[in-house]
Amino acid sequence: MDGALMLQFWTIAILLALTPGPDWAFAIATGLRPGSVVPAVLGMAFGYVVMIGVLALGAGALVATFPPLLTALTVLGAAYLVYLGVTTLRGPAHSFDDTTAVPSGGFTSQFLRGAGVSGFNPKGLLLLLALLPQFTSAGAAWRPEAQMFVLGLLHVANCIVIYFAVAHGSRRLLGTRPRAGLVITKIAGVTMIALGLLLVTEQLLAFTAGR
């Protein structure tokens, strides 16, 4: 693979992972709950691995040429974001000085929630669909599909590091401040709901404009 192209993509991927969005909101909300943040972050990483694998295998072209499929994915992702936002808003606030606090769900539950956040993120799908092919080299020994998968794994590595930092940062800064933690948790929940509704609104506007 072309080292220069890999470095360019890695730089852009870092900037993408540093941009707040559904993943950040979920990482912050996870950091402010009892229990390990590892399952949720690994779940988000797994969601992106699946998405990148699907794109590398050529399904990205199908999504790009069959708009109803993207619309269905967007609506599904929006509904899931709203569900997570409502769940976050309804959840109790915890202080990490309280040793009786019960961890928020088991490993599998948190892993699947994280995978859903990233795997149903149509914005992430579109960004990767637009970016990955641009950084492959036709003259490389590896097939373009393999190059896209490796580049995608760089994005996943960035996400793991950054989302761990976001989750642990929110816990360290706000975990022992129940009032501040409650406010940020509610903001994260509202953000997820707002992003979900925004995705649906964009699809409705696009549908209306296309009629």
Per-residue confidence (pLDDT) for residue 60, from 0 to 100 = 55
Report DSSP letters for 50-95, one per residue.
HHHHHHHTTHHHHHHH-HHHHHHHHHHHHHHHHHHHHHHHHSPP--
- If one compares 190 and 48, the residue with the highest pLDDT of the two is 48
Residues 79-101 pLDDT 10s: 777 877 787 777 655 444 443 34
Mean pLDDT on 39-59: 87
Per-residue confidence (pLDDT) for residue 85, from 0 to 100 = 79
**Which residue has 């990233």 as its token pair?**
118
Res. 49: pLDDT tops 70:
yes
Mean pLDDT, the chain, integer? 77
Answer whether 74's CB lies under 8 Å from 181's CB: no
Res. 207: pLDDT tops 80:
no
Per-residue confidence (pLDDT) for residue 102, from 0 to 100 = 42
Per-residue confidence (pLDDT) for residue 157, from 0 to 100 = 93
Report DSSP letters for 171-208, one per residue.
HHHHTT-HHHHHHHHHHHHHHHHHHHHHHHHHHHHHHH
Per-residue confidence (pLDDT) for residue 112, from 0 to 100 = 92
pTM of the model: 0.70
- If one compares 101 and 146, the residue with the highest pLDDT of the two is 146
Residue 84 token pair = 């997570």
Res. 129: pLDDT tops 90:
no
Answer whether 165's CB lies under 8 Å from 99's CB: no
- If one compares 2 and 15, the residue with the highest pLDDT of the two is 15
Per-residue confidence (pLDDT) for residue 194, from 0 to 100 = 83
